[in-house]
Amino acid sequence: MKEQPKTLVYASSLFAWPCIQALFATEQLVGVITPDPQTMGSRQEPLRQLLTTLQANGIPFEVVCKQKLHLIPSHLPHFNADLALCLGFSHLLPQQVLNHYRLGIYNCHAAPLPAYGGRDPIYWQLRNQETHSALTWHAMTEQFDSGEILLQLPLSLGHQDTYASLVQRFAYLALNSLEQLFHLVTTNTVTLPAKVKAATSTSAVPELINLDFSALNATQIEALTRAHNGHYGRVLLNVKGMAVELIQASLADYPGYGTAAGTIVMISSTQGLVVNTQDGCIRLDIVACELGVMSAERLAQLIYLDAGEQLQRSPHPLQQQV
């Protein structure tokens, strides 16, 4: 008979929800531990969504601040488990926690480690226009994404994938891999590599990006918008002095006519709003501003934009220019 280990989940967002829901349904779930949302800054909204969902479904959880994580083994006896899964938890776990579980503690990382270690691997894989990725389960250590790899499952990245869509795809790949993971762990059939390469670490995702059409080509801008679509960062541009968020853009097979980067070369109901870039043209599909969320072509109608006008960087004071 297959062992169904009692499992504790560490999580910070709804990325963990498919696995939590499945473990709860099979009565394997002991509970969920989350960080304190008040310490999460701009990342507190995804955590609050998770907490609301847990409460609505009657799933036991504990909010533990970073300074008290070491007390989990001694102060939360009702959360004792055979093993623990980390599904997007925001903090490193201390050694007292890492050593506490009979069958170990394992992290789920949405990238083919050792590549794209660190925070927001989905974002950087989209920005870098990767076409192949993998879900990695690895043993946890006191360093991010550095433990031995137990399991890697490949995932192809499509040209229509956004940050939000990939979060969902990785979340359900994690769910579908649980049985295989538990089998490896409970039957002691894990074959660990003799030496694991150090993970290459990603940098932090900027909260605001000030789009400069002269600095990026059309393919890079399209990838940038997909990486931010569903993420809590924003891509901004200046349209007639108004800050406009670019939510979606697509490649446009249209001539730039030798115009400067950032010049609108076409506005029509069939072509949309087409802008020249450093190399190639980009169609601005969906935007958001003080007038609402709409197509870029509709915005052009409302504020009387015309071909030949220049789109500039947003003057927002907190932006990173790219």
Q: Which domains does the chain have, with CATH numbers?
A: 7-186 (3.40.50.170), 208-321 (3.10.25.10)
193 has a pLDDT exceeding 50: no
pLDDT band with cut points at 50, 70 and 90 for residue 133: very high
Q: What is the DSSP letter of 117?
A: B
Q: Where is average pLDDT lowest: 55-69, 176-190, 238-252, 258-272?
A: 176-190
pLDDT at 190: 59
pLDDT at 144: 79
pLDDT at 195: 42
Locate tokens 């993971």: which residue? Answer: 181
pLDDT at 225: 97
Q: What is the pLDDT of residues 213-222, one digit of tens each?
A: 999 999 999 9
Q: Which two tokens stand for residue 278?
A: 């450093």
- Encode 48-78: b = buried (16+ Cβ within 10 Å), e = exposed: eebbebbeeeebebeebeeeebeebbeeeee
CA 301 to chain centre: 34
Q: Where is average pLDDT lowest: 92-101, 156-165, 194-203?
A: 194-203
- Encode 93-126: b = buried (16+ Cβ within 10 Å), e = exposed: bbeebbebbebbbbbbbbbbbbbbbbbbbbbbbb
Mean pLDDT rounded to a whole number for the chain: 91
Q: Where is average pLDDT lowest: 129-133, 280-284, 294-298, 315-319?
A: 315-319
CA distances to 13, 39, 46, 49, 235 from 90, rounded to whole Å, are: 9, 10, 12, 15, 24
pLDDT at 207: 85
Over residues 81-102, the mean pLDDT reads: 94
Over residues 176-182, the mean pLDDT reads: 97
pLDDT at 308: 96
d(CA 67, CA 272): 52
87 has a pLDDT exceeding 50: yes
Q: Where is average pLDDT lowest: 93-97, 107-111, 203-207?
A: 203-207
131 has a pLDDT exceeding 90: yes
Measuring CA to CA, which residue among 262, 246, 264 is closest to residue 305?
264
Count other Cβ atoms within 10 Å, centred on residue 187: 10
CA distances to 1, 195, 291, 305 from 252, rounded to whole Å, are: 57, 46, 25, 19
